[in-house]
Amino acid sequence: MMRKNDNYRTDAEFEDFLVSIGGVVNGRRTNEPLIFERKRFTVGNGWLGIVQRLFETLIALGWNKKFILVKEKFGGMSIFLDDLPENGLHFVIEADKETFSVCEVCGESAEQHKINNWVYTLCDTHRDEKLYVEVDGKTYLKKLKDPILKGDIYFNALDNEILTCDVDKLFDPWSLKVVEVKNND
């Protein structure tokens, strides 16, 4: 398979990597079996290559593969590992920093975006995917910063429905102004 970048890994590729290094040790419960499952790494596939390179570097420095947690937080990766070798923290920090400019979905160059009060690091394509909502076969563009005024249509995320505003100015933390962009029928 031809790759555009070295950041993206499929779930199977990442699990193959974990098998190739003999798994990682559960640093919280060392009596449990070694970790070989991708599901224990709660970051997008676009960052798994970064995790893999970090682990390879740390193992080369003598790391005992004691793993606590790898997760997404504030649009970047948070990595918690135990018993790091000397200078290992430097490589962890660099891997964390790298994720702030890499799309968490595909691994391409990206920027941070605040969407629905959540911070994501996404390329333009994957940012656009987060900006649309589909309801009843119709696609709507979310207008993230526009106020909802009388007569506007809006998406109510709590009830997953499109409504028309019947007040002068609506404030509802579960709702976003939208415009219909295409009909999927």
pLDDT in tens, 39-98: 999 999 999 999 999 999 999 999 999 999 999 999 999 999 999 999 999 999 999 999
Distance CA 94, CA 76 (A): 12
Burial (CB count within 10 angstroms: exposed 0-12, middle 13-18, buried 19+), residue 112: middle
Question: 170 pLDDT exceeds 80?
Answer: yes
pLDDT in tens, 93-125: 999 999 999 999 999 999 998 876 788 999 988
3-state secondary structure of 159: coil
Q: Are 102 and 108 in contact (CB under 8 A)?
A: yes
Question: 3 pLDDT exceeds 70?
Answer: no
Question: 1 pLDDT exceeds 60?
Answer: no
DSSP 3-state helix, strand, coil percentages of the chain (rounded to 5)?
A: 25, 35, 40
